[in-house]
Amino acid sequence: MFGLVTSSTRAFRPCSTTLLPYLTRSFVNRALTKPVPPTTETITTPNDFLKSIGRSMDTKMTSAPESWDDFWRTSGLDMRKVGLSVRDRRYALWCMSKFRRGLAVEEFAHEPKPKKTVRGWGPSVQNGKRIRSKRPKNLKRK
């Protein structure tokens, strides 16, 4: 019955159809399998790339590899060891994947969203001020 082995009281799956390989997590540097993009006329070093994507990544990632090939073999785990925050790591890896596809840096590099100035749950707070009802308070509803 569909690969199930039955015993006298219960059914169980044989080892060949278990879900164990799907539930395990492996830390593989997938950057090693991806191609290294060629340099452009404006971006020739890893430091040039980090300056061009903005968000002061050149100062945050101080121990970036000096060679072009070693920089493109860098994984998120390596960036974590350097001390980058999660948001900076995700942005750097996202920019690296866009550059690998051949897009110009000016097309995808952007600054982070500014912090919200208005906080609240709807029309009761607008432009940072609490809005009160214009209804007279001495009138009672019937």
The model's pLDDT over 80-125, given as tens digits with 9 standing for 90+, comes to 998 999 999 999 999 999 999 999 999 999 998 887 766 656 666 6
Look at residue 17 and tell me if it is in a domain: no
Look at residue 131 and tell me if it is in a domain: no
Look at residue 95 and tell me if it is in a domain: yes
pLDDT interval class at 21 (50, 70, 90): low
Closest CA to 76 of 86, 67, 66, 62: 86
Q: Which domain holds residue 95?
A: 31-113
Look at residue 15 and tell me if it is in a domain: no
Look at residue 57 and tell me if it is in a domain: yes
Look at residue 3 and tell me if it is in a domain: no
pLDDT interval class at 11 (50, 70, 90): low
Instruction: Please tell me the predicted confidence (pLDDT) of residue 31.
Output: 81
pTM above 0.75, yes or no: no
CA–CA distance, 128 with 124 (Å, rounded to integer): 10
Number of domains in the chain: 1
Closest CA to 53 of 94, 23, 19, 83: 94
Task: Tell me the average pLDDT of the chain.
Answer: 79
Look at residue 2 and tell me if it is in a domain: no
Q: How is residue 87 written in tokens?
A: 């948001």
